Amino acid sequence: MIGYPQSTTNFYNPRSRLGTRVNTGGNGMQPDGFDQVESFMAECRSIVSEVHAAILADTPTDIAINSRPDCVFIKATDGTILDCNDSYRKLFSHHVSPTGRLGSAYLDESLIAASQLSDQLIISGADDVVFTHPCRDSHGRSITLRTYKSSLLGLGHPRYAILGICRLMRVSISDRHVRLLPLHASWNQFAKLKPRDQQIAAALARGEKLKTIASELSVSDKTVENARSQIFRHMNLDQAADLIKLLVRLQDNGFADFGL
């Protein structure tokens, strides 16, 4: 699996000129200057104003958040996502809709602790909080976010509790991640194979004979032979040894367990 540094989260009270910083772990990352935080806060205040107006007018919040380039989301007190924009979906949940789900169900594990801790600060009575933190997005990239959260409690909505805004500050790809990019491409190709062809590929990599595979799948030897040829073409492989090497690498890097 890809290794990443331990997360450090820097929390601020945006109303304090000095700010209050709480380190939650260890890579020595320092917070950006207050002026940059305040610039981000100006955009956040604009979004907060529009969302508050929508809630008080009992109108949908979609218009207030969908046009924003930053990631914007609204949560219930238990952390369930109630609304979010496309930027949020693309960065944090890939192709899976986060609406109606807890963050722990789809967020990368590097982000869950900061998400839950900042939620608790709001639920416990903080008006708002802004912080910077390294984490991984839904594509596995190592990124740095600036996140703002504001309380929606007391506005009269039966479920809205937290308004969140995230800005992508930095993207960095580790050397190891770069080395694994071709392997990710190979895995994507393998995943496009039919389930039976995936079974045949794994069996071939384990050294099973064509007749054995055919018997296990209740198909003819010719069917397995044709499938083998199709697998090699699809995966751009020349021989069985190449297939074995590829599946071993995929297994060793945590993509799947082929029983090798």
pLDDT tens-digit map of 56-69: 999 999 888 988 88
pLDDT tens-digit map of 195-238: 889 899 999 999 999 999 999 999 999 999 999 999 999 998 88
Distance CA 16, CA 19 (A): 5
User: Exposure pattern of 210-223 as b/e (b: 16+ CB <10 Å)?
Assistant: beebbeeeeeeeeb
Q: Are residues 164 and 237 in the same domain?
A: no
Asked whether residue 92 is assigned to any structural domain, the reply reads: yes
Distance CA 200, CA 218 (A): 12
145 DSSP assignment: E
The CATH code of the domain that includes 212 is 1.10.10.10
Domain boundary among 114, 146, 173: 173
Distance CA 197, CA 230 (A): 9
CB 106 within 8 A of CB 198: no
As for how many domains the chain has, the answer is 2
Q: Of 234, 167, 244, 169, nearest to 197 (Cα)?
A: 234
- Does the pTM surpass 0.75? The reply is no
User: In the predicted model, what is the mean pLDDT of residues 126-140?
Assistant: 88
3-state secondary structure of 150: strand
Q: Are residues 154 and 190 in the same domain?
A: no
Domain boundary among 140, 173, 206: 173
CB 110 within 8 A of CB 9: no
Domain boundary among 141, 173, 205: 173
CB 114 within 8 A of CB 24: yes
The CATH code of the domain that includes 106 is 3.30.450.20
Asked whether residue 19 is assigned to any structural domain, the reply reads: yes
Report the run of H or E that residue 73 belongs to, with start and end. Answer: strand 71-75
pLDDT tens-digit map of 23-58: 333 333 334 555 567 778 888 999 999 999 999 999
Q: Are residues 163 and 199 in the same domain?
A: no
Backbone angles phi, psi at 139, to 5 degrees: -95, 0
Q: Are residues 93 and 157 in the same domain?
A: yes
Q: Are residues 58 and 148 in the same domain?
A: yes
Q: Please report which residue ranges of the chain form alpha helices under DSSP H.
A: 34-56, 62-66, 86-88, 109-123, 175-191, 195-205, 210-217, 221-235, 240-252
CB 96 within 8 A of CB 105: no
Domain span including residue 143:
10-173
Q: Are residues 150 and 195 in the same domain?
A: no
Cα separation values, 2 from 24, 67, 109, 158, 250, Å: 22, 34, 13, 41, 12
Across all residues in the chain, what is the average pLDDT? 82
